[in-house]
Amino acid sequence: MKGLILADVKIIRMMDKTLENGYSDSVPVYIDKNGEISNNSSTITKEEFSLLQKYTMRLLKQISKEILSGNINIKPFYNTKTKKTPCSYCEYKAICGFNTKLAKNDYMYINFDSKEEVLESIKKGENRSEKS
């Protein structure tokens, strides 16, 4: 599985009952010999989850307001790492009107900052959708 997991060894071991220490086969977590969660695991604290939930709700409200005020710009994301967009496999390509062959396209560029950088910028109150 990919994604974030609560940084709680008890919960991690409930999700992977075979995990003693080392890398889990089913969740993106490494437990060291002392039974601690390694820093390179995809875990965040309960407080950080709460922060992400609040940020996501704020972002959804902002997007909703923009749509309701008439902003229906087509702006698919562009993965700056893989240089790919969802348009290459999207089932709505024929009807949405976004032309991927145009040189000047308006994409939402996604930068893959580290987990710590993302959480830090959210804590500072930055709008990550404008950080492109």
Binding site for ligand SF4 (CB under 6 A): 74, 76, 86-87, 90, 92-93, 96, 98
Nearest residue to 38 (alpha-carbon basis) of 9, 77, 72: 9
Minimum CB–partner distance for residue 67 and ligand SF4 (Å) = 14
Nearer Cβ to ligand SF4 (13/75): 75
Nearer Cβ to ligand SF4 (47/91): 91
Nearer Cβ to ligand SF4 (30/98): 98
Minimum CB–partner distance for residue 73 and ligand SF4 (Å) = 10
Q: What is the DSSP string of 46-111?
A: HHHHHHHHHHHHHHHHHHHHHHHTT------EEETTTTB-GGGT-TTHHHH---TT-SS---EEE-
